[in-house]
Amino acid sequence: MIFLLLTAIPLLAALALLVPAGRFLPGDAAVARFGVAVSGATLLVALSAVTAFDFGAPERMQLEIDRAWAPAIGLRFHLGADGVSLPLILLTALLTFLCFLYTAKHPPAGDRVRLFTALLLVLEVGLLGTFVALDLVLFFVFFEVVLIPMYAVIAIWGGAGRRAAAYKFILYTLLGSGLLLAGMLLVGVNAGTLDMTELAARHGSGLTHGVQVTAFVLMGLGFAVKAPMWPLHTWLPDAHTAAPTVGSVLLAGVLLKMGTYGLVRVALPLAPDGAAFWAPWLGLFAVIGIVWGSLACLAQTDLKRMIAYSSVGHMGFVLLGIATLTPVGVNAALFGNIAHGLITGLLFFLAGAVKDRYGTGDLRELGGGMLTSAPRLASILTFASVASLGLPGLAGFWGEMLALLGAYKPHADLPRTTFVVFMAVGALGAVLTAAYFLRMLARITHGPVPDARLTAGPVAAVSRYEYAAWIPLVVLTLLVGLWPKTLLDVTTAPVRALLGGG
């Protein structure tokens, strides 16, 4: 029941905002407070779900709700969570809450806060629903619910080039969704059920090799667009750069995870033969993505665009982990998901704050000396960058390290030498990651303050709302990094179960 509540709260709140402004919550400030309250309530429900969760058996689906939805075609309204989805649910609820908190004081350029709040709430419904859905069609419905609000957020409140970016985003991901639906239906029709838990428990038995190979490539492509996997990534830099701060945070923090979560939750267990067939290709594209993304970052001149490209590299590590088809690799992917959500979410918040204060995100125009002109902001930016380049002791490291560990010894059916090469190339990509982050830091935080900035007056200090939005992310990055056991203990058992007890 708790997950029904989790998705119902933001949905009802979004519907309530349809009431004309004169009757309900007049004024932007009231709407902003409403958004904070609703997302805060959702976060509380998510936290209560965590307390209700039995951590003794994280591999079991818990807190389930299973009702008939459209019995004629075997659809069920089936929600639930296990150790794989629980951290993502919490991450989503947390990031959405922080976004509302941030928006309350820093509304996006272009006003229309009422519409913005409603769209974000619908977005939250879709995101949370994707992570709790246990029926293929239900999963797909939530997966698609996310697209429209995100499209609108980019197209209405975005920066320069927002139209083109929004079109590219929605058309590209819709194309992926089409393939995904085809793949899911292929599995569903052949297996005779749409229930994900049941399909996962079968581990592909009852499906022929050909069906599995076809289904995996269809579903895999759909998720790969979302993740995004090289070479299907070009929508991402445009969308991130054009989106308003909050949009970028949710896009990078949660939306990308839907792709990798889908691979782990749907594609791997439903079509294991197909996974084994395609895994080397997935690994290859993942590794190319790592190096490609890092190199692209080295040549970027825009802060937001650089962070966007860094996502391609980081998600490359996540995909590499999945491609190994080992428990440790999939663990790496889930860990990488959470770490990337925390760190890149924080980075996009900071990029937005920099743009607000300096009026530009261009590294050359920013000049240098941010540690002098805005020491706190620059310090947090340094922290986030260091976390993102995979420093041990912070969250980013464990996902990368475990992915490399998985690639060193992939699943027995996979070609070992190939994966060892992937491991070596991926590890070198980690050096490039350090290179572009340090280059960015050296450019904008170090050095003297340019004369033009000195005359422009002091830079606004970090506001309390900004601290409130960032500190939880900083603390969690530290916590998860120093004590990776918190996350690994939850995911290890369900991952073994998903991979067939491996």
Q: Taking the complex as a whole, how short is the minimal distance between the CB of residue 266 and other proteins, in angstroms?
A: 20
Site string for other proteins, 169-188 (x = CB under 8 A): --xx----------------
Mark the segment that binds other proteins (CB under 8 A) among 154-162, 336-344, 461-469, 485-493.
485-493
**Is-contact 371 379, C-beta < 8 A?**
yes
Piece of the chain touching other proteins by CB under 8 A; list 27-35, 180-188, 246-254, 320-328: 320-328
Q: What residues contact 171, with CB distance under 8 A and at least 6 apart?
A: none
416 binds other proteins, rule: CB under 8 A: no
The radius of gyration computed from the CA coordinates of the chain, to the nearest angstrom, equals: 22
Q: Is 154 in the site for other proteins (CB under 8 A)?
A: no
x-or-dash string of contact with other proteins, 344-383, rule CB under 8 A: ------------------------xx-xx-----------
424 makes contact with other proteins (CB under 8 A): yes
Euclidean distance between CA atoms 466 and 394, whole angstroms: 21
In the list 18, 73, 160, 299, the residue contacting other proteins (rule: CB under 8 A) is 299
CB atoms within 10 A of CB 324: 30
Whether the CB-CB separation of 293 and 311 falls below 8 Å is answered with yes
- List the one residue from 122, 246, 276, 296 that touches other proteins (CB under 8 A): 296
**Distance (Å, whole) CA 358 – CA 460:** 10
Whole-angstrom distance, CA of residue 242 vs CA of residue 246: 11
- Structure token pair of residue 319: 């995909």
- Whether 279 and 324 have beta carbons less than 8 Å apart is answered as yes
Q: Does 402 bind other proteins (CB under 8 A)?
A: yes
Q: Nearest 10 degrees: CA dihedral of 252, 257, 258, 259? A: 100
Q: Stretches 4-12, 111-119, 242-250, 487-495: which one binds other proteins (CB under 8 A)?
A: 487-495
* Closer CB to other proteins, 185 or 405, in the complex: 405
Q: Where are the alpha helices (DSSP H) in 203-326?
A: 209-226, 235-242, 245-250, 256-262, 268-270, 272-298, 303-323
The secondary structure of 267-286, three-state, reads: HHHHCHHHHHHHHHHHHHHH
**In one letter, which amino acid is 30?**
A
Q: CB–CB of 382/394 below 8 Å?
A: no
Position among 365, 408, 465, 479 found at the interface with other proteins (CB under 8 A): 408
Does position 298 interact with other proteins (CB under 8 A)? The reply is yes
Span from 35-43, 200-208, 253-261, 385-393 in contact with other proteins (CB under 8 A): 385-393
Residue 193 found at the interface with other proteins (CB under 8 A): no
C-alpha distances (whole Å) from 488 to each of 106, 335, 502 are 36, 7, 16
Please report whether residue 477 would count as binding other proteins according to CB under 8 A.
no
**Residue with smaller CB distance to other proteins, 202 or 409:** 409
DSSP SS3 for 19: coil
Question: Can residue 404 be called a binding residue for other proteins (CB under 8 A)?
Answer: yes
Displacement of CA 219 from its chain's centroid (Å): 18
Give how many residues touch other proteins by CB under 8 A: 59
Span interacting with other proteins, options 3-11, 140-148, 243-251, 388-396, rule CB under 8 A: 388-396
Positions touching other proteins (CB under 8 A) are 168, 171-172, 231, 233-235, 292, 295-300, 326-331, 368-369, 371-372, 386, 391-393, 397, 401-402, 404-406, 408-409, 423-424, 427-428, 430-432, 434-435, 438-439, 442, 445-448, 484-485, 488-489, 492, 495-496
